[in-house]
A and B are shown apart, each in its own frame.
Chain A
Amino acid sequence: MSGLIKSSIARKVAMALSGLFLVFFLLQHFTINFTSVFSPDTFNELSHFMGTNPLVQFALQPVLIFGVVFHFIMGFVLEIKNRNARAVKYAKYSGGANSSWMSRNMILSGLVILAFLGLHFYDFWIPEMVHKYVEFAPEDPTRYYHELLEKFVSPVRTGLYVLSFVFLALHLWHGFASSFQSVGFNNKFSVGATKFAKVFAIVIPLGFIIVSLVLHFNNNH
């Protein structure tokens, strides 16, 4: 652990690996959410499985929470160290001439995603934990779709979700492709891997936006 804190490369690799883990989680989360658009029953079945399976609840969920917390803490640690590495700022700085906005503002997009996670936990995770482990309410395998639908009645909340997914796309646009470089993957396959990461960075957040909007408009019909 001390090596992780001390070495810049170890920190970079740890950041990339935790990011890749979260990318994999996003894909899984999106796949389940997307079923809500065309089959509420399938969504209920999958949600019931994820919400009651002991392996998911007591093994994968803690790993996921650790991954999220680690990624954020390491991101803040790196940001502070990087800011300290240049005490006096340039009077004129032309970052746009040599790098993308996304790559220079990962902390900003990350903070928006962190704020979104707060809202998302408030909306879904905390009520779910209270339902199962505080109130010990009887399990109804058909409750998930209606609970999901309820959350997207408000246009403000739906708007906040959509905005957050835009920032998620900006974060993934640099972060996913960049993680390959961090783990030392730079070879003849890198162009293809980068293209895949860029497509993923657009398609998955766009998919989440579509799910949010469909749920919102389903409420109004």
Chain B
Amino acid sequence: MNLTLKIWRQSDAKSQGKIVEYPISGIEGDMSFLEMLDVLNEELITKGEEPVVFDHDCREGICGACSLQINGEPHGPDRLVTTCQLHMRKFNDGDTIFIEPFRAKAFPVVKDLMVDRSAFDRIQHAGGYISVNTSGNTIDANAIPVNKDNADDAFAAATCIGCGACVAACKNASAMLFTSAKVSQYALLPQGQVEATDRVMAMVNQMDEEGFGNCTNTGACEIECPKGISLENIARMNREYMKASIKG
């Protein structure tokens, strides 16, 4: 199929970027979106032009690196997939495709389509961990009884790969779905209770300091999340935060 790509090009973090148009042909429906970009980059390199910089790693939907805004949606028009799992069969011959980096003040553009998502790392560092006694007396996690529903919900929250699609989709660039998934996966388990109060306060404070916007419950994050992280996690984080605020 023949396509017209409109791609955000920006030479570095401080430069002014712009949309540049690239016609591309010979694209097969079975190609992944990243393979299509590989084809484009090979053409650009052959012509002596600078290839388009984009993030990618595992190319099997688990690393969360391939974060692209495609035709106005994070990871493109398909649901529950990352950009690397998006296939060109989702597009039609003659289509124009806008490809942009995830936009948020907290996700500054590094180059072209690559953004710095280390704000997520700092939120995780602020409280996304548990204290475990490693002196030889560690209790086997399997020996601690966990309610089945809680275990399932904690596991579902833990499937968040931190790709940033929630931030990209949100009209306010809010990171509440990501932060709430990280808070929830511990809040639901016995091992997470020790730091429960400090965790939610520290992670929410860090999220706010990074300059993400406020959640207004549009639900766009849940729809666009490649791992189907539920809005229930945000409600849980709100409860955890209110409990922690009252406890002090």
Contacts and interface: CB of A to CB of B under 8 A. Distances in A.
B110 to A, nearest CB: 14
B89 interface: no
Interface residues of B, number: 48
Interface in B72-112: 72-73, 77, 98, 100, 103-106
A88 B72 contact: no
Interface stretch (B35-43, B46-54, B190-198, B236-244): B236-244
Given A9-B204, A9-B237, A95-B220, A81 B105 contact: no
B242 A92 contact: no
B238 A98 contact: no
A72 to B, nearest CB: 15
Contacts of A85: 104-106, 172-174, 211-214
A8 interface: yes
Contacts of A6: 208
B219 interface: yes
Contact of A82 (B100, B172, B241): B172
A8 B217 contact: no
B15 interface: no
B238 A86 contact: no
Contacts of B56: none
B245 A3 contact: yes
A177 B185 CA distance: 26
Contacts of B237: 9
A10 to B, nearest CB: 7
B176 A8 contact: yes
Contact of B223 (A10, A78, A87, A98): A98
B219 A91 contact: no
Contact of B218 (A10, A99, A182): A99
Given A99-B171, A183-B238, A94 B73 contact: yes
B220 A9 contact: no
Interface in B214-248: 214-220, 223-224, 231-232, 234-239, 241-242, 245
A185 to B, nearest CB: 7
Contact of B98 (A8, A81, A92, A100): A92
Interface in A42-100: 78, 81-82, 84-95, 97-100
Interface string A1-26: 00100111111110000000000000
Contacts of A29: none
B59 interface: no
A178 B217 contact: yes
A93 B72 contact: yes
B214 A13 contact: no
A99 B220 contact: yes
Given A7-B204, A8-B204, A97-B72, A87 B245 contact: no
A21 to B, nearest CB: 17
Given A94-B72, A184-B236, A184-B238, A86 B173 contact: yes
A76 to B, nearest CB: 12
Contact of B208 (A8, A78, A92): A8
Interface string B162-179: 000000010111101000
Interface of A: 3, 6-13, 78, 81-82, 84-95, 97-100, 103-104, 106, 174, 178, 181-186
Interface of B: 6, 8, 17, 19, 69, 71-73, 77, 98, 100, 103-106, 169, 171-174, 176, 204-205, 207-208, 211-220, 223-224, 231-232, 234-239, 241-242, 245
5 contacts: A8-B174, A82-B174, A85-B104, A91-B6, A95-B72
Given A86-B105, A92-B71, 10 more contacts: A8-B176, A9-B237, A13-B242, A78-B214, A84-B213, A85-B174, A97-B72, A98-B223, A106-B216, A181-B231
